[in-house]
Amino acid sequence: MGGKALGLTKLLADNAPNAMKEQKLESYFDRRIAVDASMSIYQFLVVVGRKGTQMLTNEAGEVTSHLQGMFYRTIRLLEAGIKPAYVFDGKPPDLKKQELAKRFLKRAAASEELAVAIASQNKEDMEKLSKRTMKVTQHHNEDCKKLLKLMDLPVVEAPSEAEAQCAALCKAGKACIFPFDCLQNRSLFSHDN
């Protein structure tokens, strides 16, 4: 997901340099931004609280990486005076079915390779491959929606792809940017800083 966003950034920079403008975080003060929730949740599941194949969990053993990441990133945005609106994917379009099937096969292959890495105690491969098996589930989405609603933030249910809905919100003037790339900056949104 993140790699695709960075690829899009390069594509736009190479072919339509005027389509993008880099700005400081402060320039978004008091503005509403549209955020692709699934992309963010995926980033949190892959990075937050992870040690090897172990993920951040609560006392009951339930994964909470997505909640901690969503909470702290949102707090950082709010502290900067930015108003996020999180957009959640709806039903994928028929055109995406082939891509989803490819992702399923890649996760299955990574799961098989992960089993081999675990058996051989190859920690580097274990960490790398466990990230490749990650998938944002409906449960992760519902957890984050509940958290965001408790934080009194808007939650948008896209009819289909969240990215398209983010763009539509921007076009309609309901959000000023679609920050697919700025959210890659871990130092900006890390709760450790």
For the residues of 63-126, what is the DSSP string, one character each?
A: B-HHHHHHHHHHHHHHHTT-EEEEEE--SPPGGGHHHHHHHHHHHHHHHHHHHHHHHTT-HHHH
Residue 182 vs residue 95, higher pLDDT: 95
Domain count, the chain: 1
Task: Indicate whether 3 belongs to any domain.
Answer: no
Task: Indicate whether 150 belongs to any domain.
Answer: yes
Task: Indicate whether 19 belongs to any domain.
Answer: no
Task: Indicate whether 161 belongs to any domain.
Answer: yes
Task: Indicate whether 120 belongs to any domain.
Answer: no
The pLDDT of residue 178: 61
pLDDT digits (tens, 9 = 90+) for 1-60: 444 445 566 777 788 888 777 777 778 899 999 999 998 999 898 888 777 777 888 899
The pLDDT of residue 8: 62
Task: Indicate whether 153 belongs to any domain.
Answer: yes
In CATH, what number is assigned to the domain containing residue 180? Answer: 3.40.50.1010
Q: What is the DSSP letter of 133?
A: T
Task: Indicate whether 20 belongs to any domain.
Answer: no
**Mean pLDDT across 103-115:** 80
Task: Indicate whether 36 belongs to any domain.
Answer: yes
> In the 3-class helix/strand/coil scheme, how is 5-43 assigned residue by residue?
HHHHHHHHHHHCHHHCCCCCHHHHCCCEEEEEHHHHHHH
Q: Which domain does 146 fall in, by range?
A: 29-90+137-189
Q: Which of 40-49, 74-83, 109-118 has the lowest mean pLDDT?
A: 109-118
pLDDT digits (tens, 9 = 90+) for 121-162: 888 877 777 778 788 999 999 999 999 999 999 999 999 999
Long-range contacts of residues 166-172, Cβ cutoff 8 Å, at least 24 apart: 166/34, 166/35, 166/36, 166/87, 169/34, 169/85, 169/87, 170/34
CA gap 131, 166 in Å, rounded: 26
Rounded to two decimals, the pTM is 0.76
